[in-house]
A and B are shown apart, each in its own frame.
Chain A
Amino acid sequence: MQRRFISIWFRHLLADWQLIWRPELKEVPFVFAAPDHGRMIVTAVSQLAAEHEVTSGMSAADAKAICPGLEVLDDKVGRAGKLLKGLGEYCIRYAPIVAIDEFSMDGLMLEVSGCAHLWGGEREYLKEIISRLKSKGYTVRLAIADTPGAAWAVSRFGKVTPLIAPDEHVEALQLLPPEALRLEESTLSKLRKLGFYQIRSFIGMPRSVLRRRFGEAFLLRLAQALGTEEEVLQALRQPVPFRERLASLEPIKTKTGIEIAITRLLEVLCKRLQTEGLGLRSGLLTAYRIDGKIVQIAIGTSGASHSVAHLFKLFQLKIDQIKPALGIELFELEAVKVDALEVPQEILWNSKPGLNNKSILQLIDRVSGKLGAAAVHRYIPEAHYWPERSAGRARSLTELRVMNWNMDKPRPTELLPRPEVIQVMALIPDHPPKFFIYKGEQHQVVKADGPERIEREWWLDAGEHRDYYRVEDASGRRYWLYRSGHYGANQSFQWFVHGFFA
């Protein structure tokens, strides 16, 4: 596909911006100046000042001498970048990939491959952008060409036409001065000294000669303009393949309105996802309020889904988090993460047992959407004898257990998260206790099983082993007790209750 680029040059970016905010400066020539080595240096010029031959780079005092009545305004570092970012975000409406012109910081670069026909051809496309930016108060020069370098050159220095037809950019570059190649000042002065006033005078020279004289950077710029070297644009916003926008005629303030907007967006998005066999895993709804603020809510699903009803329910749980304030003028729904969707075979009854069931997945999505994903647990057996580690968290609903649940040793129905200390009396060492006091109540042990020794997993943590006993007291309550460590006078050992049997 033929790649096409538009370069937008804001001739007086800062001055235009200032005029928008302070129209009273329209009749006055003014410049922006910033301190540099103790002097005020002009950084940006208004159109009126430019007519008086004031250029950026001269000192403010000189400029005032040339042009009496010149107004000098303070410049702030990074203001141009901020402005360009805002303008670039505005220009995303024209092309998905918009980049700031990093070389001169006074323009934008748009990759418009395959966009022009949507606006009725390249000429109309350019006209539309110019008039739209002009109506906002910016004077711009545009050029469209096959390479970013050529577009940049023609937008700044072209005199014939801004519309460089496909494959004609080399011709268009011939008559332009070497400044059009985005070169360093030192290289430019060298070129001027050698009498190269037009690109055509050195374009045909052997590369080795040019490299020796002007260095690698010069060749790179030349190649980028000619298109033999790829130039990568740093997009302001990486285009997301699945994004839908819905602008509202009137600002929306009510919950019903937001719900309708979400449904409409989901309908379009889900249809697109469905045709591509994809499902949404995480989505982001951005609401642009008329006061310039942005509100976002995000949802996630445990399995890819393109069901409007289900996704809507997930968003519905979070609508309360959207504060519409004065109203929302634009909704944007983005599928941040999509996954291939396995299309289940149509069945007559939803009789598929197990957890990998559509309705259960949707239930889990709703629960984790409202209460957080940490609320939902599922356990699978793990190869540990240590009771606290014998059940591990499953990562997903569909993760299968790799081993069976261990059944050969008794395990309590309820396990205390932290074993509690008890007082115990045992008749003989290593015999089950005869009597114990738990929470102030005395329990006479009638029946007992054990001991079951569980060694501590020394590669995971240090400590004593445990000897577990299952005991039943006189009233039929069954406990899981253990003694930590060996029985003996010279060793520290302690008794704990760790669980309750049914």
Chain B
Amino acid sequence: MEAKLEILNKLRQDLLLWQGFKPAEGEAAQCVGLGEIEAAFPGGVFPRKAIHEFICAAPDQTAATDGFIAGLLSVLMADGTGCVWISTARRLFPPSLAAFNVEADRIIFVDVRNDREVLWVMEEALRCEGLAAVVAEVDSLSLVESRRLQLAAEQQGIPAMIIRKDPKRLVAGVSTARWQISPLPSSAEQGMPGVGFPRWRVDLLKVRSGNPGSWVLEWEADRFLQVPAQKVFVQRVQEKVG
């Protein structure tokens, strides 16, 4: 009986390994600085050979999503590798990435005309060695296209991050994780005026063989910091009457 259980466990581990959730033997388990959120993934490791979808339900979420991805890139690109950022209508401001510890001169921006070209460049980039990540802003992505991207991402082990700005055109894809990042009011230190560190609600809407959840994160100068739930308070605007 015990032998069987052992075999089953071994198989489970192997399955995770084959799906790209666990680093192969000899590779150190690398975290991406997300802290507790990483535990939501199978094996407790941020999957790298996978597609991460970022849903922007409202237009104000795109800046927060860009910021969150920049935070992830700061870890992924820490070893000096480059990254490819593909978009059709780019608003990302390269000098701002310095605040997220990302050297914008190591990012290659590819500005194309339509989604078809975005997907072509993305697949080519995913099959290319020596990149830390590929980020693309895509509006529509079909199941077949996402499957192709998944296969490409598995080949080189490069995370593919897709920013979906049009939530109406969402279809079931093969993405490993589906995120939604929305901005939250920042909290400055007690009594200090001004805007504090960027704070977001990070919703992990879907994780393949993992546990979805919702967290509040803050980018503090050079790393993500999780904000305990009790500390998050919704600002109330006191309207003056009279």
Is B219 a contact of A502 with CB atoms below 8 Å? yes
Interface size in chain A (residues, C-beta < 8 A): 57
Instruction: Answer whether residue B188 sits at the interface, using C-beta atoms and an 8 A cutoff.
Output: yes
- List, in ascending order, chain A residues with CB within 8 A of B220's CB: none
Of A149-157, A212-220, A320-328, A352-360, the one contacting chain B is A352-360
Q: For chain A residues 397-430, which have a beta carbon within 8 Å of chain B? A: 397, 401, 404-407, 410-417
Instruction: Answer whether residue A255 sits at the interface, using C-beta atoms and an 8 A cutoff.
Output: no
The closest CB in chain A to the CB of B131 belongs to A360
Alpha-carbon distance between A371 and B129 when the two chains are bound, in angstroms:
21
Instruction: Answer whether residue B109 sits at the interface, using C-beta atoms and an 8 A cutoff.
Output: yes
- List, in ascending order, chain A residues with CB within 8 A of B80's CB: 353-354
- List, in ascending order, chain A residues with CB within 8 A of B188's CB: 447
Shortest CB distance A362–B (Å): 8
- List, in ascending order, chain A residues with CB within 8 A of B237's CB: 444, 446, 474
Is B66 a contact of A414 with CB atoms below 8 Å? yes
Is A353 a contact of B130 with CB atoms below 8 Å? yes
Alpha-carbon distance between A415 and B194 when the two chains are bound, in angstroms:
21
Instruction: Answer whether residue A257 sits at the interface, using C-beta atoms and an 8 A cutoff.
Output: no
Instruction: Given A363-B128, A472-B195, answer yes or no on A354-B82 (Cβ-Cβ < 8 Å).
Output: yes
A-B contact count (CB 8 A): 177
Instruction: Given A412-B96, A448-B195, answer yes or no on A472-B62 (Cβ-Cβ < 8 Å).
Output: no
B95 touches which one: A370, A405, A475 (CB < 8 A)?
A405
Describe A's contact surface by its main secondary structure.
mixed
- List, in ascending order, chain A residues with CB within 8 A of B128's CB: 359-360, 362-363
Shortest CB distance B159–A (Å): 16
Of B24-32, B86-94, B139-147, B169-177, the one contacting chain A is B86-94
Instruction: Answer whether residue A478 sits at the interface, using C-beta atoms and an 8 A cutoff.
Output: yes
Instruction: Given A353-B79, A406-B95, A474-B237, answer yes or no on A379-B109 (Cβ-Cβ < 8 Å).
Output: yes
Describe B's contact surface by its main secondary structure.
mixed
Chain A window 442-477, contacts with chain B (Cβ cutoff 8 Å), 1 for yes, 0 for no: 001011110000000000000000000011101111
Instruction: Answer whether residue A83 sits at the interface, using C-beta atoms and an 8 A cutoff.
Output: no
Shortest CB distance A447–B (Å): 5
- List, in ascending order, chain A residues with CB within 8 A of B130's CB: 350, 352-353, 357, 359-360
Instruction: Answer whether residue A72 sits at the interface, using C-beta atoms and an 8 A cutoff.
Output: no
Shortest CB distance A382–B (Å): 9
Is A355 a contact of B104 with CB atoms below 8 Å? no
Q: For chain B residues 37-77, which have a beta carbon within 8 Å of chain A? A: 60, 62-64, 66-68, 70
The closest CB in chain A to the CB of B111 belongs to A375
Instruction: Answer whether residue B121 sits at the interface, using C-beta atoms and an 8 A cutoff.
Output: yes
Alpha-carbon distance between A501 and B171 when the two chains are bound, in angstroms:
29
The closest CB in chain B to the CB of A379 belongs to B94
Instruction: Answer whether residue A377 sits at the interface, using C-beta atoms and an 8 A cutoff.
Output: yes
Alpha-carbon distance between A472 and B95 when the two chains are bound, in angstroms:
21
- List, in ascending order, chain B residues with CB within 8 A of A415's CB: 91-93, 96
Is A478 a contact of B95 with CB atoms below 8 Å? no
Shortest CB distance B16–A (Å): 25
Report, nearest first, the 4 A-B pairs whose CB atoms are least far apart.
Answer: A502-B67, A353-B80, A405-B98, A415-B93
- Chain B residues within CB distance 8 Å of chain A: 60, 62-64, 66-68, 70, 79-82, 84, 91-100, 103-113, 117, 120-121, 124-125, 128-131, 182-186, 188, 193-196, 198-200, 219, 235, 237
- A/B interface sample: 7 pairs, CB < 8 A: A353-B80, A354-B106, A360-B130, A371-B110, A474-B185, A478-B195, A502-B183
